[in-house]
Structure 1
Amino acid sequence: MLIAVLSDIHGNARALKACLGHARERGAQGYVFLGDYISDGAYPQRTMEQVYDCAARYDCRFIRGNREEYMLDYRAGKISGWQDGSSTGSLLYTYENLTARDLDWFQSLEIAGRESFPGSPPLFYCHGSPWAVGGRLEQGDPVAKEKLGELPEKYILCGHTHRLGSWFSGLFERGCQQVVRAGSVGIPLSTPGKAQMLFLHSVEGDMPRWRPEYALVPYDLEGAVRDLEESGLLERGRVWTAMVRHALITGENMVGLLPPYAQALYERDCGRKAPYQEIPEEYWQRAALAYRCETAC
């Protein structure tokens, strides 16, 4: 049996189209989606249409990611104040381009799932971690080791990090667990122009197991970058969307560097700390200049 696993699409409909086409060509018999279907990319409906079509035509499993939770929290009034600009403009653009059907569908999804495909070991799958949709499963983390030890499944699938790979948790004599990262379809780190996805091969025998295969799928990168500009998202999301564009083109992640630097500039000038959602545009622009992140269309 062959299972296709897709995570962190982030509204990159062109990359999703390429990955779904590749999965069909490979003869995937099931699909597992690990969340973050939307936000950061242009034209969210182009992504959602493909997701709904896949759900109607194939045997699919879906969970939600932290980006879907942002949208649901905004609808419920748990968070507010989104406006055009580097802090929240990209999120607002996405929210305004979603439908009630999309939000209701997100609401129906769990943050983790379990599945037993015929003749294969059970799978546990989550977006970030079993205990938090925005968490991370990191090798050597004692909390992760403890939480994973509470799960009966030996194979754990996760996304959120935008990187492919796997590692083992636990003692071999007790039957260790394999944590498999599915990478990112839409904003793949380290592999510019190639979307990341995962295939799981069911290996039968006295001890059935899953064999992971990591796939890099070429897609229309130029079109995806052009979409950011022509949709108006770059104008509305400014530095944040410029970081997304930079990641698409180079495979480099600025999110862990540029926003904290903008926060540090603000704290130095104003004498207080603030979450990046509250950082004035001036500091985003100064940080973008320092990191040579081109913000113009």
Structure 2
Amino acid sequence: MVGMKKIANEKIVVLSDIHGNYIAFQKCLEYVLGMGIRAFIFLGDYLGEFPYPQKTMEILYSLKEKYTCFFLRGNKEDYWISRKYDKNCVWKNGNSTVGAMKYCYENLTDKDIGFFESLPLCREITFDGAGSILACHGSPDKNNEKMFPDGENTKGIMERCAGQYILCGHTHVQGSFSHEGKILLNPGSVGVSLYSGGKAQFMILYQNGEELGHQFISLDYDKKKVIKEMEESGLWDAAPYWCRVTKYGMLAGEISHGTVLGRAMELCREETGKCDWYNIPEIYWEKAVQELLGC
């Protein structure tokens, strides 16, 4: 974990799980910059599901140069780093199941990978006069661990953490949870939020006496433009079923990629007796998408 960093801003924006949706990202930034906020905490998963990943990276680099920014590494960043250095990376030769990942990786630069490598999994931040924040992507233990309010792991993690406030993303579900005097805050997802009515979601933290207040924000954005770019960029051709889940998530926001992936794997195992997550035949994707999404 990176050491403590103190900030004196009255307000700070917390964003997570952009997943390359730069159009939603821009909408969020227009909102907060218009409010005069100039400090940001990013909880990871910057790319992965949407076209033109360099547009998202350009925005991130620009913010990094201009404003106070804290960046954390999500589990998606681990995929890109692993793909570069691991000669036996399992998804390197996968089929359309990992088509979106391949598309994204092929559009990354050495600068991008180096940036992701530099990011900590967890860091402590003190908000001047209002307590300590522990920021991570999934949990302080693992960046692919989900912390739901009703999760068996969540209370134990909160009890072990020293900070009063814990920021996490990864679940794509906006919300808060209190336990033994500590507060868990999830800003939701900028790119594909669940249970949001198809909105881009994030959070603003502000000083409230000796405590931190929070405001959850949900914004609409031009989803038609996003879908058009998914089709025109070649991403849809590379990952047709994954993109259908992404589109469904943007418009309805109730079923995750992981849920559909899990069902496709179940169907594959039932019929063949085995299944690799990175190489699921499209027939099982088609069945899973039809069953769960009805499209």
CA distance 1:257–1:62, change in 2 (3 Å): closer
- For residues 89-108 of structure 1, the C-alpha deviation after alignment (integer angstroms, 9 at most, x for no partner) is 11000000111100000000
Choose from 219, 222, 227 the match for 1:220: 222
Distance in 1, Cα, partners of 2:197 & 2:148: 24
Report the counterpart of residue 200 of structure 1 in structure 2.
Answer: 205
CA distance 1:197–1:41, change in 2 (3 Å): same
Question: Which amino acid is 2:114 matched to?
Answer: D
Deviation at 1:193, TM superposition (A): 4.3
Deviation at 1:219, TM superposition (A): 1.5
Q: What TM-score comes out, normalization by structure 1 length? A: 0.91
Question: 1:84·1:236 contact (CA, 8 Å) conserved in 2?
Answer: no
- For residues 214-242 of structure 1, the C-alpha deviation after alignment (integer angstroms, 9 at most, x for no partner) is 00122211111111111110110111111
- Is 1:3 equivalent to 2:12 in the alignment? yes
Deviation at 1:140, TM superposition (A): 4.2
Question: Which amino acid is 1:212 matched to?
Answer: H
Distance in 2, Cα, partners of 1:64 & 1:254: 21
Q: Percent identity?
A: 33
Report the counterpart of residue 148 of structure 1 in structure 2.
Answer: 158
- Is 1:125 equivalent to 2:135 in the alignment? yes
Q: What TM-score comes out, normalization by structure 2 length? A: 0.91
Report the counterpart of residue 276 of structure 2 in structure 1.
Answer: 275
Deviation at 1:285, TM superposition (A): 2.2
Question: 2:74·2:143 contact (CA, 8 Å) conserved in 1?
Answer: yes
Report the counterpart of residue 196 of structure 2 in structure 1.
Answer: 191
Aligned partner of residue 204 in structure 2, secondary structure: strand
- For residues 51-75 of structure 1, the C-alpha deviation after alignment (integer angstroms, 9 at most, x for no partner) is 1111111111001101111111111
Question: 1:19·1:217 contact (CA, 8 Å) conserved in 2?
Answer: yes
Choose from 146, 164, 170 the match for 1:136: 146
1:254-293 aligned within 5 A: 254-270=256-272, 272-292=273-293
Distance in 2, Cα, partners of 1:28 & 1:181: 19
Report the counterpart of residue 81 of structure 2 in structure 1.
Answer: 72
Structure 2 residue ranges without an equivalent (≥5) = 1-9
Deviation at 1:25, TM superposition (A): 1.2
1:152-171 aligned within 5 A: 152-170=162-180
Q: Tell which deviates more after alignment, 142-151 or 89-98.
A: 142-151
Distance in 1, Cα, partners of 2:258 & 2:48: 17
- Is 1:41 equivalent to 2:50 in the alignment? yes
